[in-house]
Structure 1
Amino acid sequence: MNRQRRKTENQKSAGDRGQWASKREYVLVMSGNVVGLGNVWRFPYLCYKNGGGAFLVPYGLLAVVCGIPLFLLEASVGQYTQEGFITSWRKMCPLMQGIGYGQLMITLCFFIYILIEVWALLYLVFSFRSQLPWASCENTWNTANCLGLQTFNSSNVTANQTNTTSAATEFWERRVLGMSGGIEDLGSVRWELALCLLACWMFCYFSIWKGVRSSGKVAYFTATFPYVTLLILLIRGLTLPGAWDGIYYYLYPNLNRLVWIEAGSQIFFSYSLTAGFLNVIASYNEYNNNCYKDCFWLCLLNSGTSFVAGFVVFSVLGFMAHKQGVTVDTVAESGPGLAFIVYPQATAMMPLPQFWTVCFFLMLILLTVDTHMFVRHKSNYIVTFHLKLYFNLSFFKSRLFLLQGGIYIFQLIDFYGSTRVCQNFMAICECLAVGWIFGADRFSNIIEDMTGQRPSVFFKLCWKYIIPLLSLVSQKINDWYTYPDWAYALGWTMTLSSVLMVPLWAAGQMCLTAGTFKQVSIHPLQSSLAEEKHWRGGSNC
């Protein structure tokens, strides 16, 4: 039977490139990849900033109509083709192979997130000191405008109310980053950060050097320990004075501040959509793995972790506001400001501050590690591509971010390398390739063939109509610093480098390949699927 032949061919391909040793390893690696920084330092703040409890309504709705269908689409493409995110699209729809190259450009920007691991590792080292260096102003890097924790607690003033800065802010900006005045002044290399970067890449190297065999085993620790620390921090946070004031700010519904587009952006970011990660990880599954059921549980795990992380973050922020005698909105921040200024300052106010600081930064390191442990096209390709390109290129090129002006470059790539324009455009292209060119009915047949469960017609509606109709909305980069015009031009060049891959590849295929549009877009794999009507008792194709 044609169906059995396709299954045998895919299993042979999987045997050549390796597979997960067990379903448990796949779930751990996938959960470690989709549960990351976006759940801890982005979702809680977005929820508070954009309507509190009311934000959960658009977030939940967009998770259903956009997040889960796209998650299923990407995981199913990888599992069926047994290929990476470039060659999988060549098998599904040659005309749209530019999707894979566009995702490659996005992925190359993701190496900057190892900088977060580097910063967290340096903080972790400092956390073992008897006196936390961000708790006082008695250090060589502090200025006359520094306010330590004792000053905060005694005078009830904040850096926002005076011309002063907190000790935690000065430690972050002056000790860790050594920040220059702007992107035009890159300054010198921070050698302590360089040593931490080397340590992080060495850990990454030995986690993946044997392909799925090693990365699957490492995931037993890196994917589970963050949940242990998250639970510890949650219990501790809820017992702090002022914690419930913070939780009130986190969940209080405010319809006047509700922003739907922020919910969609968070879904893409936290679910790791349109970046190729899901295709690659799922490609190491067995042919008969139930990816249909997996996508529901993994998406529920991701969103549930985000929701719980909000209690962890805002209980601590409520405690910090209580200690300073200010409102929670005064101390609430997102991104690096939350992880490396606000949260360390808050833990320094607790009894046993070293313990809580170690827990937090160890969790942050492991959440970042999982993002870098995704595997590539083939087992031997991991060595030649990931280790040589990512270790040699990324380590030495990452030195640019270790300069005193590196934080400005980090923020620029962080926004423009995976901006909403890239995310939404890639999502529309994926849906166009699978829903219209390959065929949503044919794709549903494939999922049923692999899992024994036929996806609901709702998924077909999402792939063909709902997701492609999502609007592309522009977004301004964070206004904490005004970039020169050439930097914005460089940023948009990064955005276009991924977006233009799809139309340019399609145009090249149409020009260089003889035949009609249908002939150019159909792969032999797709043609053979026409025989499905014989075993299905009819044709949906």
Structure 2
Amino acid sequence: MFNGGNDTLHVPMSSVEEFWNYKILEISSGIDDIGRLNWKYLLYKVACQVIIWLALIKSIQSIGKIMYVTAIAPVVLSVIIWIRALTFPGATSGMAYFITPDFNQLANLEVWIEAAFMAFYTLGPAWGGLAMYGSHNKFSANCFRDAVFSTVMAVCYGLFNGLVIFSVIGVLSYESGVPLDKVVTSGGFSLGFVAYPQAITFFPLPQIWAVLFFIVLLLPGLDSQTIMMEPVLCVFEEIFPKTIGKKRIPLLTVVTVITFIFGIPLVSQAGVYMFQLVDWYAATWSILLIAVAESIVFAWIYGGDRLSRDFKLMLGRPLPAFVRVSSAFITPAVLTGLVVTSIFKYKPPTYGTYVYPDYARSIGWCFAIIPLLPIVLTIAWMVRNNKGSLKERFVSLMKPSVEWEPAEDTVKHVYRNLEQSYQRSVKRLAMFNLTGRGGFDKLFPESEGDKLEIKPINRNIHAEFNA
């Protein structure tokens, strides 16, 4: 079978996978063989962009309603497919293959690297979407509970989804006589497109189930793109509140058109190679580096002490010890180690048996660097426009802005007094991040005669702190 690369190979694959690659994707011989645009998929893309445009018109108000459908429907369909797959021979073998641990792989650094990348895909840290949604919460909303719940649910659904896919792969392996690890050769995102359609053929009226499946498959994709576009809109609206901030629909239209234009090459016959290239580079190292930067900024520049104070102002209790130590020490150390290791263990991207040419890899590294440029340029611009010596500029920029304060009016007075009364040092911050002592705790109001002179409007906050 022609492998889409430089030579001809006979690669064993199921009929479903062959149909996916050569009928659905109409895959070309390589990334430099663009081929023709698939006008049918271009129209699909137009429809998707229109749906996303409609979902973002009212920002969080419209997004929240869509989430009920996009989050629940895939789970329901996965359960139905799983139950149906269990009625066929081979399903239990596939699930056993999925859940059987290979402890030798724990010593394989590449496994840890891939696991980290998958965690960022699944949970979405450092992408901007979580921060954007969190900014719409009420001041006293239990963000800690929500973070724990959403993380646990995302992990559980990811594991369950893997169980469903491998139960179907087990059925494919049994019917074709191909070993489990050889059933799907394309790998990556193609796995779901191959396994689930095969499972649907076992259902009565498979055509109807196929339509439902691809509609449900479309929903998380629309969900993800909506989450990615909203932070971009928020940035422009907050930077230019008096101009662009008051013209959401024109801004949304411009961003939608730009993203559509950049996505046109993906509907060509070489689109899958381009997608894999962007996915391999742009959504890996840059995201890890941004996550490292965020953990350092929050734990060491803004400071774990300030985070704990803000946490207490919102929820009435300090930052949990595990979160404090993890954000200050474990997270930056582990992620930095993964970045360094992934660079040394770097392997060029592949799609099945196709290996990307050198120039494509160079373009990929550009994709990895581009997301980091705005951060570097913004820091350079802020340092350049600040006053004082270079050291004084950096010290000034590492302090919270005077405009930074709680959104809740009843705690603004407490916040300001705590900020003015607190004297920070590197030693004190490091001690707090490690032990939880030496921060703002002793400055919180403990009696009516406290020096902070809490206003009557803040008596409820005062009582919560004492409690």
> So what's the TM-score if we normalise by structure 2?
0.75
Query: Could you give the per-residue CA deviations for residues 445-496 of structure 1, whole angstroms, max 9, x where no partner exists?
Result: 1122122332212212112111111211223243232222222111111211
1:228 and 2:93 matched: no
Deviates more, 1:204-213 or 1:310-319: 204-213
What letter corresponds to residue 489 of structure 1 in structure 2? Answer: S
Return the alpha-carbon distance in structure 1 between the equivalents of residues 73 and 10 of structure 2: 40
1:189 and 2:70 matched: no
1:448 and 2:312 matched: yes
What letter corresponds to residue 370 of structure 1 in structure 2? Answer: D
Any residues of structure 2 matched to 1:361-400 within 5 Å, and which?
361-374=214-227, 375-376=230-231, 377=234, 380=246, 382-389=248-255, 391-400=256-265
Give the 3 Å change call, closer, same or farther, for CA 239–381 of structure 1 in structure 2: farther
Return the alpha-carbon distance in structure 1 between the equivalents of residues 291 and 134 of structure 2: 18
Computing the radius of gyration from Cα coordinates, the structure with the larger value is 2
Cα shift at 1:275: 0.8
Give the 3 Å change call, closer, same or farther, for CA 467–381 of structure 1 in structure 2: farther
Query: Contact 2:265/2:271 (CA < 8 Å) preserved in 1?
Result: yes
What letter corresponds to residue 388 of structure 1 in structure 2? Answer: V
Cα shift at 1:168: 2.7
What letter corresponds to residue 198 of structure 2 in structure 1? Answer: Q
1:491 paired residue number: 364
Give the 3 Å change call, closer, same or farther, for CA 170–266 of structure 1 in structure 2: closer
Query: Contact 1:225/1:363 (CA < 8 Å) preserved in 2?
Result: yes
Return the alpha-carbon distance in structure 1 between the equivalents of residues 250 and 121 of structure 2: 28
For structure 2, the residue ranges without an aligned partner over 5 or more in a row are 238-244, 406-411, 423-439, 445-467
Return the alpha-carbon distance in structure 1 between the equivalents of residues 78 and 196 of structure 2: 14
Query: Could you give the per-residue CA deviations for residues 315-369 of structure 1, whole angstroms, max 9, x where no partner exists?
Result: 1111111112333222156433212334323433555433443343232111212
1:416 and 2:281 matched: yes
Give the 3 Å change call, closer, same or farther, for CA 169–305 of structure 1 in structure 2: closer
Give the 3 Å change call, closer, same or farther, for CA 245–380 of structure 1 in structure 2: farther
What letter corresponds to residue 457 of structure 1 in structure 2? Answer: A
Return the alpha-carbon distance in structure 2 between the equivalents of residues 348 and 440 of structure 1: 54
Query: Contact 2:36/2:269 (CA < 8 Å) preserved in 1?
Result: yes
Q: For 1:287, what is the secondary structure of its paired residue?
A: coil
What letter corresponds to residue 531 of structure 1 in structure 2? Answer: N
> So what's the TM-score if we normalise by structure 1?
0.65
Query: Contact 1:204/1:372 (CA < 8 Å) preserved in 2?
Result: yes
What letter corresponds to residue 265 of structure 1 in structure 2? Answer: F
Of the three residues 431, 447, 459, the one matched with 2:295 is 431
Deviates more, 1:171-180 or 1:374-383: 374-383
Query: Could you give the per-residue CA deviations for residues 364-411 of structure 1, whole angstroms, max 9, x where no partner exists?
Result: 11121211222341585653433321x211222321111122221111
Query: Contact 2:2/2:10 (CA < 8 Å) preserved in 1?
Result: no
What letter corresponds to residue 433 of structure 1 in structure 2? Answer: V
Return the alpha-carbon distance in structure 2 between the equivalents of residues 144 and 415 of structure 1: 24
What letter corresponds to residue 347 of structure 1 in structure 2? Answer: I
2:128 paired residue number: 276
Query: Contact 2:165/2:195 (CA < 8 Å) preserved in 1?
Result: no
Query: Contact 1:245/1:315 (CA < 8 Å) preserved in 2?
Result: yes
What letter corresponds to residue 225 of structure 2 in structure 1? Answer: H
Give the 3 Å change call, closer, same or farther, for CA 181–265 of structure 1 in structure 2: same
What letter corresponds to residue 520 of structure 1 in structure 2? Answer: L
Q: How many residues of Structure 1 are paired with residues of Structure 2 in the alignment?
A: 382
Query: Contact 1:230/1:363 (CA < 8 Å) preserved in 2?
Result: no
Query: Contact 1:207/1:215 (CA < 8 Å) preserved in 2?
Result: yes
Query: Contact 1:292/1:447 (CA < 8 Å) preserved in 2?
Result: no
Cα shift at 1:539: 4.2
Any residues of structure 2 matched to 1:4-403 within 5 Å, and which?
166-258=14-106, 259-332=111-184, 334-349=187-202, 351-374=204-227, 375-376=230-231, 377=234, 380=246, 382-389=248-255, 391-403=256-268
Q: For 1:454, what is the secondary structure of its paired residue?
A: coil
Paired-residue identity, % = 30
Give the 3 Å change call, closer, same or farther, for CA 162–185 of structure 1 in structure 2: closer
Return the alpha-carbon distance in structure 2 between the equivalents of residues 234 and 173 of structure 1: 24
